[in-house]
């Protein structure tokens, strides 16, 4: 599971990198984008968009259940999650509004209520939560009616100047967006996250993380992945109406199927070669530290050292930066794990969350 977690945390860079220039705009294309933009966007919709975040969510659910099995008590888990929420608030409000730690902490607190459910009960609850999330997302998207914005337009320059006039402006804008994101958690984000965590628990209990899927299950999953991803590509041409509103719900379902496929492929790869991926496993053990370091590095790059990148970068430029960041994190992991077995933030989180046994009793 460490290998899968390592893949997931490194994959996050390729999606999150767009949001560090101007958070709420994500990636803003030119009026006439280069051919590489269309190619990378399509590639992202097929293999990246939402896939690694969903992969991480499935793993989080499975990890939560593993800890519950070991301790047979939810109090230590609750304390860990409370501290994760604190870390998430600090990360989101002070650094980057796209934080997922707060969401994971809150979602996992909800999931704790269902850890002793049967597989069928977990599937039913996961389906219900996912349905709520998809319906709420579609209704929210249906209410949006925004005009397309282009990076070479006067409107974009105006937004850019408001963001980059000072470091204080960045913090002010980030806090505003963080509060907005926090408000969307109970309405849009909580239910999908909790639903996918429950699916992760079911997958773990069915030995998907150790054996993968059966042949028939794999075929069904592959067909669903192709159909949903194809539908998402078709819906990309819609800029409003029902077609536009369905883009994100369809992508969430496609991301779930593709993430489960990734788990199967990684499990089979590791089972066939026990020595493969030692470095990626170390990355998985440092996932918390590396996730926060991704934020810090990208803030330094986009907000401090090279603010002009927001004006000139196309998709390929963001991906090149993402590749460089992945290489840096792999190098750091190689050196760090020669001397330490646990990341600094993992260590801090564990120490803060420790509960004395007599207090548990």
CA 140 – CA 252 distance, rounded (Å): 15
Cβ atoms within 10 A of the Cβ of 291, count?
22
Cα 47 off chain centre by: 14
* Overall domain count for the chain: 1
Q: Give the residue numbers spanning the domain of 206.
A: 2-360
3-state SS track over the chain: CHHHHHHHHHHCHHHHHHHHCCHHHCCCCCCCCCHHHHHHHHHHHHHCCCHHHHHHHHHHHHHHHHHHHHHCCCHHHHHHHHHHHHHHHHHHHHHCCCCCHHHHHHHHHHHHHHCCCCHHHHHHHHHHHHHHHHHHHHHHHHCCCCCCCCCCCHHHHHHHHHHHCCHHHHHHHHHHHHHHHHHHHHHHHHHHHHHHHHHHHHHHHCCHHHHCCCHHHHHHHHHHHHHHHHHHHHHCCCCCHHHHHCHHHHHHHHHHHHHHHHHHHHHHHHHHCCCCCHHHHHHHHCHHHHHHHHHHHHHHHHHHHCCCHHHHCCHHHHHHHHHHHHHHHHHHHHHHCCCCCCCHHHHHHHHHHCCCHHHHC
pLDDT of residue 50: 93
- Full-prediction pTM beyond 0.75? yes
pLDDT of residue 358: 41
Encode the chain (361 residues) as per-residue pLDDT tens digits. 889 999 999 999 999 999 998 898 889 999 999 999 999 999 999 999 999 999 999 999 999 999 999 888 888 899 999 999 999 999 999 999 999 999 999 999 999 999 999 999 999 999 999 999 999 999 999 887 778 899 999 999 999 988 887 777 778 889 999 999 898 888 889 999 999 999 999 999 999 999 999 999 999 999 999 999 999 999 999 888 899 999 999 999 999 999 999 999 999 988 776 566 788 999 999 999 999 999 999 999 999 999 999 999 999 999 999 999 999 999 999 999 999 989 999 999 999 988 664 444 4
pLDDT of residue 361: 43
């Amino acid at each position: 599971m460490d290998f899968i977690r390592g893949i997931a945390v490194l994959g996050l860079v390729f999606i999150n990198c767009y949001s560090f220039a101007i958070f709420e705009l994500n990636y803003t294309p030119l009026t006439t984008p280069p051919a590489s933009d269309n190619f990378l966007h399509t590639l992202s919709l097929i293999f990246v968009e939402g896939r690694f975040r969903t992969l991480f969510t499935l793993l989080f659910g499975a990890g939560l259940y593993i800890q519950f099995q070991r301790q047979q008590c939810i109090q230590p888990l609750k304390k860990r999650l409370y501290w994760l929420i604190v870390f998430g608030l600090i990360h989101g409000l002070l650094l980057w509004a796209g934080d997922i730690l707060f969401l994971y902490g809150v979602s996992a607190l909800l999931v704790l209520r269902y850890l002793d459910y049967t597989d069928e009960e977990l599937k039913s609850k996961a389906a219900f939560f996912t349905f709520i999330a998809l319906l709420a997302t579609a209704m929210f998207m249906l209410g949006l009616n925004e005009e397309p914005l282009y990076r070479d337009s006067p409107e974009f320059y105006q937004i850019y100047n408001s963001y980059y006039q000072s470091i204080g402006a960045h913090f002010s804008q980030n806090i505003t967006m963080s509060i907005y994101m926090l408000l969307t958690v109970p309405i849009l984000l909580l239910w999908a996250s909790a639903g996918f965590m429950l699916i992760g628990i079911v997958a773990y209990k069915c030995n998907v993380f150790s054996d993968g899927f059966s042949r028939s299950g794999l075929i069904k999953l592959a067909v669903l992945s192709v159909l949903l991803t194809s539908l998402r590509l078709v819906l990309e041409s819609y800029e409003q109406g029902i077609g536009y509103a369905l883009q994100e719900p369809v992508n969430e379902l496609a991301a779930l199927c593709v993430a489960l496929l990734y788990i199967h492929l990684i499990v089979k790869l590791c089972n066939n070669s026990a020595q493969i991926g030692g470095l990626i496993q170390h990355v998985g053990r440092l996932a918390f530290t590396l996730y926060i370091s991704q934020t810090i590095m990208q803030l330094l790059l986009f907000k401090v050292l090279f603010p002009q990148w927001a004006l000139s970068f196309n998709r390929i430029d963001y991906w090149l930066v993402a590749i460089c960041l992945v290489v840096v994190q792999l190098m750091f992991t190689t050196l760090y794990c020669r001397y330490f077995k646990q990341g600094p933030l993992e260590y801090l989180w564990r120490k803060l969350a420790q509960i004395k046994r007599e207090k548990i009793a």
